Structure 1
Amino acid sequence: MSTDADLTGPPRAAPSSRAFRRLLYGSIAVFALLALGLVALNLSQGPRLTSAQLNVQTSVERAGQRLLLESNEVLAPVGDAQISVTPSVGVATTSNQTSIQVEFTSILEYNTTYTVTATGVKSASQNAESTFSYSFTTPDANVAFLVPGSAVSTAEPAPDDRIERASLTGGTTETLYSAPHISRFATMGQKLVVATTDADGYDLLDIITPDGSAAPIPVQLAGPGTVTGLTASAKSNLFGYTYRAAPSPYYPTANEQLYIYDTTLGQAFSIPVTGPDHELLDVTSWFFVPGTTSLVARSPDGSLYLADVLGLLDGSSGTVGVGSADALQGFVPGTKSLVTERGGATFTIDFGTPGTPVTAPFTEASGAAGAGSGAGVSPPVQTQTALPLDASGTVVARSSDATALVKRDASASTTVFTTPDGTPITHFCLSTNGRYAVTSTSAGTTYIPLAGSAEPRTFPGSQPDWCSAG
C-alpha cells in the first residue's frame, strides 16, 4: 500500500500570488472609477479660458479694437447677447474654433479698468456651460505743454522755459526738459523735438532724450531762419517742420518751406518736400495722413500735394497733385479723411483707399439752438474755424467772440467750455482720438472731454503737444 498522497486537481497558489492578483484587480477597479469620475467631471464642466490678447494702448486711440479670448477646446458659437462689459461699451462678437473675438465699437476711456464677461460658453461637443471673465486697465492720458520762465524782477534773468508732462486723471506734473528760449516742441514717444532761439534771434532744432540716456541730436537747418511749425508722427518715427529763411539783402526771402526728418536714421539730414517739378515746395498748411508715412500739403495758390515721406527720403517716389482747397480743416479723428474747404463748400478727401483719393461733400451738422451745457442758448460759432469730430458732420468751433467752445451735431449745439475770465481762446485743436478738445488762452491750456466721465483740467502752459501730433 502506497503512502504517497493522491494529488488530483490544480496545485494551490502560493499566498503571495493571491495577494498580487487581489492588488492588481483592485487597482484596475480604482483606476476605472477614477476614469469614470474624470469623464463625468469633464462632462459637467464647460470650457476654460486659457489666455487673452488685447493692444490696450491702441484701445484708447481708435474704435474697433479686438479682445481675443482663447479657450482650451472648440466652442459653440458665441453672440453679442452673451457678452457684457463693465463699464458699458458696445461690442460686436464673433467666435471661431477655440476663440471668442470681442470688438469694441467705441474708443475706450483712459485709465479705466474694464471687465469683459462671456456667459453661457459651451463646448462644441457637450452642453456644460462656463463663464469667461477678463479684466484689463487702459493706459493713462499723459500730456505735455510749454511753461515759460518768468523773471522775479527786471534785474534778474528769467528762469529757463520748461516742457512739463502731466496726467489728465490726476497726479503732479514733472519737468521733461528745460532750456532758455524754447519756442516750440513736439513729443516723439520717449523723445522730444525742441526748437530754441539763439542770441541772434535764429532758431535751433534738437532731438532730446529727457532721461539723459542719449546726447542731443542737432537737426541741421537750411541756414539761419525760423522754425514756424513743428509736427510729429510718433508711430511713424517722423517729424516735419516748416522753416522760413532769415531775410537777406542779396536774394528774396522764400515763403515757408516744409522739411521732414526720420528719427530712425539717428543723426541725419532733413529732407525738403519738393513738388512734382522737384522744386522746393512752399506750403501754407500741411498734415501727416494718420497711420501712414504720407503727408498732405497745401501751397499758397491752393494746390494740394500728396507725398510719401519714405519715398522722398530714399528717392523711390515723388510728390503728386491731389486737387485744390481754400483751407484745410483737419482729418476726421480715427479716419484718413481730410476735411477741406473750397469755393464756400466743405469736402472730404479720403486717403484710406488705394489709388486716387476719393473726394466727397462733407455737410457740417447745424445743431439745435438753445441746447447748452447748463449755460442757456449756445453762442454763435465761427464756422470758418470749425474742426471735424466725426464723419456724420459733428464739428467743434469757437464762439464768435472766441470765449467759448461749442460742439455741434445733428441734434444740438452744446457749449463744452467757456473761458472763466472772458479771455479769448487763442488756439484750439482736437486729440487724435476725438475724445478731447484742447484750448489755449492767456491763462493756460485746458483739456475738455467731449465724451466719457472725465473732468476738464487746466495747466499753466501753452503749446500742448496734442496740437502738434500727426
Structure 2
Amino acid sequence: MSPTFTDGGRLPDVRRFRRTLTILVTTLLVLCGTFFTLDWFQGPRLSDAQVDTAAVAALPGQQLRLFANEPLADIRADQVTVAPEVPFDVSTSGAVIAIRFTTRLDYSTEYRVTITEAAGVQHTATSTLEHRFTTAAASVYYLDRADPAVGGKDTILRTGIGFGPEAVEKKVVYSADRIQDFTVVGRALVVVTMAADRTGTVTLVSLDDGATEQLRLPPAVQVERLRASPTTGFVGFILTGQDGDPTNALMLVDLGGTHEVTPVAALDGSNLGVLDWMFLPGTSQFTAQTFDQTVLLFDAAAPGVPTPIGTWTELDDVSPDGSALLVKDAFGSIVVSLADGTETRITPSPVDGEIPYSSTPALLPDGHTRVQSVVFLSADLTSSRSFLVVDDGTTGRIVYTPPDAGAIDSFTVSPNGQYAAIAVSPDAGKSTSDGYYPFAKPTNIMTIVVDLATGEQVRSYDGFGTSWP
C-alpha cells in the first residue's frame, strides 16, 4: 500500500530540502574550486613581518623577517629591492624571508622592501611581495652643568632628535653635584662625579627605577677617559693618582658580572698605564696606547696577551664598524686597517677652493668619508673661523657654521652617520668657565644637531657630552 500524506505536503518539503542542499553543496564546491584556483595561480602572499625599528638604526646586522602564507623557493638577492638603497643580504627558510641589513639605517625614515617573482615550493605561480616600515626617531642623552654663579645640581637629560612635540621634550634622568662625565650602557647610566679636590667617583644609575650603586675605587684618584661597549656590557676608565702621579692605570668593569673594578694587566703583570684607549664598536675588543706610544689590541671578554698594532703619536678614533683606527703621526692623520695593517694618510680637502687647518676627524660608516671641524685663518692671521665639514676625500662640504663670535668646542657623530651633535660656544669671547678643571667647559655651551646629508639643523639644547644610546 502506498503511503498517504495528510499533513499538508511533507514530500514537497523533502524535495525542496534536497534541492537546496544540492545547490548549496554545488556552490561550495564551485567556491572552493575558485579559491583553490586563485590560490594556485596567485602565488605567495605576506602574512606578517617583524623588525626592531630602533635596533636597525642603532646597530648593523639587524634583520627584517617576512612571513609568507606558504613555504617559499629560495629568494635571491637580485629579487630584492630596498628603497632608500642600503646594503643587505637575504636568506630563505620555509615560509620565512630574512633580510639582514649590513649597515645601520637612517632614523625616522620609511623603507620599502620589494621582492619580485616570489614562488612557493609547491607550484610555479609567482607574485610580488612588499613591506614598508619606518625606523624609530633618534634620541640622545646629554649633560647640562649648573652655572656656578647660580648654583644647583648638574643634570643628565634625554631628548629626541627631529621635529614635533616628542622631539622637543626634555626629560631629566639623573641629577648630582659636579658631574664630570657619563655614558649609557643598556638601561644604566655610568656617571663620573668630581669633588672639589678633583677626586672622582663612579656611580651606576638604573634608568628604570633610579637605583644607584657606587663602584669601589682606590682612594684619592681622578677618573678620566670613560668609555663603554653597550652591546657587551663592559665599561672602563683611566685612574690617575690625586697627587699627579701619572700612573694612568686602565680599569675595566663587567656590568653583566660582579661590577668589580679590575685593572688591565701589562705584559709584565703590572697595571697597564695608558695615554688613551677606546672600544671597537659592537665588540668587547679595545685598543690602548701606552706611554711609549705603542697601540695594542685587547679583548675584555678574553684577557690575554695583547696584539701590537703600531706606534703613533696619537690614538684618535675608531671607524663605526670597528675595522679601522684613526691615528696621528708627526705629519697628520692616518687610517689604519685592523685587518691587514694598511695605512692610508688623509689630509683636509679644499673647502670652497681653500685648504683649511683641521682638528681630529671622525670616520663615517662608509669607511672613507669623514666629518671634521676645520679652521680658516684671516689674511692677517689675527682671527679665525671654524666650520664643521663633511670631507669625501676630494672636497669639503660645510654643514655647520657657528655664529660670528662662536667657536666649535667638540662634536660627536651618530652611530649611523646621519647626524652630528656639535658642542658650540655661541660667544667665545664672552664665555666663562664652569670651573671643572681639567675638564672645564664654557657656561654658555650648547649643542646643535645637524643632518650631515643636508646641513639642516634639526635640534638644539643647552649642554654638551651627547651620548647616542
TM-score bracket for the superposition, by shorter chain length: 0.7 to 0.9
User: What is the aligned partner in structure 2 of residue 240 from structure 1?
Assistant: 236
Q: What are the within-5 Å matches in structure 2 for residues 38-437 of structure 1?
A: 38-62=35-59, 65-75=62-72, 83=80, 85=82, 88-90=84-86, 92=88, 94=90, 96=92, 98-104=95-101, 107-126=104-123, 128-150=125-147, 158-169=151-162, 170-214=167-211, 216-247=212-243, 253-266=245-258, 268-312=259-303, 317-342=304-329, 344=331, 347-351=334-338, 358-364=340-346, 367-370=349-352, 380-382=356-358, 385-390=360-365, 393-400=368-375, 401=384, 403-437=386-420
Root-mean-square deviation (CA, aligned residues, Å) is 3.4
Match of 1:107, SS state, is coil
1:348 deviation in Å? Answer: 4.2
Is the 2:348–2:356 Cα contact (8 Å) retained in structure 1? Answer: no
Equivalent position SS for 2:55: helix
* Aligned partner letter, 2:400: F
Q: TM-score, normalised by structure 2?
A: 0.79
CA distance in 2, matches of 1:439, 1:35: 64
Query: Contact (CA 8 Å) 2:44, 2:127: kept in 1 or not?
Result: yes
Task: Provide the secondary structure at the position in 1 that maps to 2:181.
Answer: strand
- 2:380 is matched with none
Structure of higher CA gyration radius: 1
What percentage of aligned pairs have identical amino acids? 26
Q: Is the 8 A contact 2:448 2:457 kept in 1?
A: no
More strand by share: 2
CA drift of 1:185 comes to 1.2
CA distance in 1, matches of 2:89, 2:270: 52
Pairwise CA distance, 1:119: 4.8
Aligned to 2:464: 462
* Farther-moved stretch of structure 1 (428-437 vs 449-458): 449-458
Q: How many residues align?
A: 427
User: In the aligned structure 2, how far is the partner of 1:197 from the partner of 1:335?
Assistant: 31
- The offset of 1:361, in angstroms, is 1.8
Match of 1:426, SS? strand
Structure 2 residue identity aligned to 1:397: Q
Q: Distance in 2 between the 1:201 and 1:91 partners?
A: 48
Shift of the 305–35 alpha-carbon distance from structure 1 to 2, 3 Å rule, reads: same
Q: Secondary structure at the match of 1:398?
A: strand
- Per-residue CA distance 1:281-332 (angstroms, 9 max, x = gap): 21111111222112110012111222221234xxxx3444333222123112
Q: Do residues 451 (structure 1) and 443 (structure 2) align?
A: no
Question: Does structure 2 retain, via aligned residues, the 8 Å contact 1:235–1:291?
Answer: yes
Cα drift, residue 205 of structure 1: 1.4
Q: 1:407 to 1:39 in 2, by over 3 A?
A: closer
Cα deviation, residue 29, structure 1: 5.5
Deviates more, 1:223-232 or 1:104-113: 104-113
Maintained 8 Å contact 2:185/2:228: yes
Distance in 1 between the 2:410 and 2:62 partners?
A: 31
After TM superposition, give the deviation of residue 191 of structure 1 in Å.
Answer: 1.2
Residues in 1 aligned to 2:286 and 2:458: alpha-carbon distance in whole angstroms: 32
Q: Report the secondary structure of 2:457's partner residue.
A: coil
The whole-number CA distance in structure 1 between the counterparts of 2:396 and 2:143 is 32
Cα separation, 2, equivalents of 1:92 and 1:111? 19
Question: Counterparts of 1:427 and 1:54 in 2: how far apart (Å)?
Answer: 34
Q: What one-letter code is carried by the residue in structure 2 that aligns with 1:461?
A: G
How far off is 1:452 after superposition?
6.6
Segments of 5+ residues of structure 2 without an aligned counterpart are: 2-10, 376-383, 426-444
Unaligned 5+ runs, structure 1: 6-14, 352-356, 371-376
- For 1:301 and 1:199, how far apart are their aligned partners in 2? 32
Q: Distance in 1 between matches of 2:385 and 2:235?
A: 30
- In the alignment, the residues of structure 2 paired with residue 133 and residue 55 of structure 1 have an alpha-carbon distance, to the nearest angstrom, of 18
* Deviation of the 1:208 alpha carbon: 1.1
Once the two structures are TM-superposed, the CA of residue 166 in structure 1 deviates from its matched residue by 0.8
1:414 shift after superposition: 0.7
